C-alpha cells in the first residue's frame, strides 16, 4: 500500500519484490500528480462506481483507473522513467 510518501508492506519478502515495489511507486507518482488528497477522492469514487456496476469487490478494485495503470505497467521497471504525466487518464 502506498500513502505518500511511504510504501507499506506486510511481509519482509515483499521488500525484495521489485514488481510489487514498482506497482506502489506508480501509485506514489499518481498521488503526487493529483496533490495527494484528490487522488484518494477519485480512487474511492471510482471504486464505488465500479462496485455498484459489478457488485464484486475484486472486479471493482481492478477497474479503478489508477490500479489499471499500475497493474499494466508494474513489470516494466523502466516505466516511471518514460511515463507521461497523468497517464492514468488513458484508462478512463
Query: Which residue numbers in the chain have pLDDT < 70?
Result: none
pTM of the shown model? 0.95
Please check whether residue 46 is in contact with residue 24, taking contact to mean a CB–CB distance below 8 angstroms: no
Distance from C-alpha of 66 to C-alpha of 69, rounded to nearest angstrom = 5
What is the tens place of the pLDDT at every residue in 20-34? 999 999 999 999 999
From the list 92, 49, 21, the residue with the least C-alpha distance to 29 is 21
| Rg from Cα positions in the chain | 13
What is the tens place of the pLDDT at every residue in 67-76? 999 999 999 9
Amino acid at each position: 500500500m502506498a500513502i505518500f510518501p511511504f510504501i507499506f508492506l506486510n511481509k519482509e519478502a515483499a521488500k525484495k519484490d521489485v514488481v510489487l515495489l514498482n506497482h506502489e511507486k506508480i501509485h506514489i507518482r499518481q498521488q503526487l500528480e493529483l496533490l495527494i488528497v484528490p487522488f484518494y477522492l477519485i480512487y474511492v469514487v471510482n471504486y464505488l462506481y465500479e462496485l455498484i456496476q459489478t457488485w464484486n469487490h475484486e472486479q471493482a478494485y481492478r477497474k479503478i483507473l489508477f490500479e489499471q495503470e499500475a497493474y499494466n505497467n508494474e513489470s516494466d521497471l523502466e516505466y516511471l522513467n518514460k511515463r507521461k504525466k497523468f497517464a492514468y487518464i488513458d484508462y478512463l
